[in-house]
Structure 1
Amino acid sequence: MNMEADKLEELLPSELGTKEYWDSAYIVEIENFKNNGDVGEVWFGEESATRIIRWLTKFDQVSRDDPVIDVGCGNGMMLFELMEEGFTNLTGVDYSEKAIELANRIALERESTNIKFMLCDIVGEEVDLRDYKVVLDKGTYDAISLSPENAHAQRKAYKANLTKLLRPEGLFVIASCNWTEEELRQHFDSDFAVSAVIPAPKFQFGGKVGSSVTTLVFQHKNNETGS
């Protein structure tokens, strides 16, 4: 057990950590998409997704036909962008039925056949998804951490299911705006090591320098390859 990770303070609960919030948000976005073709909000902004995609396309140990899964995919926009870059084996999962409905509507309009969207709660007990080379998380771990319903236990369940998703040599790419690089390292240190840090623009406030989004690439400790 990683005692340091257990000592980390939990985030204050927020409606962003509830399924009801996301279902309501995607109901609105589905209507907007039906009415004017608006695909909805890109969580953390398009720049964050672009940085991840740019890194993946340049990393020579990931091929375009490797299986990639986006946990908490929302409207699926990061997967659609990966498809544009030539990736052919893409899966998106989300615990919101409305998110999956929106993603499937967008896929149908774009005639996207290389992406499969499925309903799945990544902190649920019955996660039966395996053998992915890359697991992507852009904001999902943050939302789990904001849950009013025992966020600590949900974070532990997330980590346990993460090990089921990944191949032994797989990559876990996480973007967070609520946890620092050091905190993320501590959260996942028992099983994973940082393989790369995807840099983001820096800002300075109160004499301290930081990034609005921290993006790390993890690998299982016994399969580290470096960046």
Structure 2
Amino acid sequence: MSEAEFTPSKLGTKAHWDAVYRRELRTFQDYGDEGEIWFGEGSMTRMIRWLHARKVPLGASVLDIGTGNGMLLVELAKLGYKSLTGIDYCTDAIELARSICEKEGVSQGVHLQVTDFLDTFYTSEQFDVCLDKGTFDAVSLDPSRAAEKRKQYVQSLCQVLKPHGLFMITSCNWTREELLEQFEDEFEITDELPTPSISYGGQAGHSVTALVFRKRTGS
């Protein structure tokens, strides 16, 4: 596996995200603004459309890793998904997500929990689907032990996902090939979601990568 590294950034620290969601929670309380959708609304819509197009059952258990304001779960709940869980290590993020769920009338269908996916998260039952929209990116930018934490992320993912379960990831830090290298030992790719293309210096590419993996048998 190649060990592509990124410049350490505050975006990889809990202190940064605590400050972000403290501010966003206050803004929601004062003005009703639900805050930023990570990677934009289009990235969220692509994930939802894929689940719908592949007829993933409405009773499938879904885990949103690093749920933030919880908007992805809100939209899934509105479509009728009934077993939704969102986790985040920021207390204010979960409070914000809970407030938005209440506002949107979907509180009963969404379970929210303050926990660290790499360290303290425990579930008695595995999930059918795991979603990640930026959390693996943040792990990759952690100023301390980023490579070790990426490996722990994969291990945690294997523990919480059912055999043959689906893992959907959206990343702005990793290319398709790099994500394959990170996850190929335990997962096989099943699809790549279309994302906006960019052109620079005569070369075309994508600023965001969105892939769907399936957990390998025995992983």
TM-score, length-normalised on structure 2? 0.95
Alignment of 1:91-106 (within 5 A): 91-106=85-100
Q: What amino acid is the match of 1:111?
A: G
Q: State the secondary structure of the residue aligned to 1:63.
A: coil
Q: Measure, in 1, the Cα distance between the counterparts of 2:183 and 2:86.
A: 22
Q: What amino acid is the match of 1:198?
A: L
Match of 1:79 among 73, 76, 88: 73
Q: 1:181: how far off?
A: 0.2
> Contact 2:22–2:92 (CA<8 Å) still a contact in 1?
yes
Q: What amino acid is the match of 1:89?
A: S
Match of 1:174 among 169, 176, 180: 169
The number of aligned residues is: 216
Q: 1:221: how far off?
A: 2.7
Alignment of 1:134-145 (within 5 A): 134-145=129-140
Task: Please list every run of 5 or more consecutive structure 1 residues that lacks an aligned counterpart in the other structure.
Answer: none
Q: 1:128: how far off?
A: 1.2
- What does residue 128 of structure 1 align with? 122
Alignment of 1:32 with 2:30, yes or no, is: no
Q: Measure, in 2, the Cα distance between the counterparts of 1:154 and 1:13.
A: 13
Task: Please list every run of 5 or more consecutive structure 2 residues that lacks an aligned counterpart in the other structure.
Answer: none
Q: What is the CA deviation profile of residues 174-226 of structure 1, one whole-angstrom value per residue up to 9, with x for unaligned ones?
A: 00000000000000011111011111121111122111210000012339xxx
Identity among equivalent positions (%) equals 44
Q: State the secondary structure of the residue aligned to 1:195.
A: strand
Match of 2:188 among 190, 193, 201: 193
- What does residue 110 of structure 2 align with? 115
Q: 1:108: how far off?
A: 2.0
Q: Measure, in 2, the Cα distance between the counterparts of 1:137 and 1:210.
A: 21
> Contact 2:84–2:109 (CA<8 Å) still a contact in 1?
yes
Q: What amino acid is the match of 2:203?
A: K
Q: 1:53: how far off?
A: 0.5
Q: State the secondary structure of the residue aligned to 1:222.
A: coil
> Contact 2:63–2:84 (CA<8 Å) still a contact in 1?
yes
Alignment of 1:19 with 2:11, yes or no, is: no
Q: Measure, in 1, the Cα distance between the counterparts of 2:101 and 2:42.
A: 22
- What does residue 153 of structure 2 align with? 158
Q: 1:149: how far off?
A: 1.3
> Contact 2:163–2:216 (CA<8 Å) still a contact in 1?
no
Alignment of 1:88 with 2:77, yes or no, is: no
Q: Give the superposed CA RMSD.
A: 1.2
TM-score, length-normalised on structure 1? 0.92
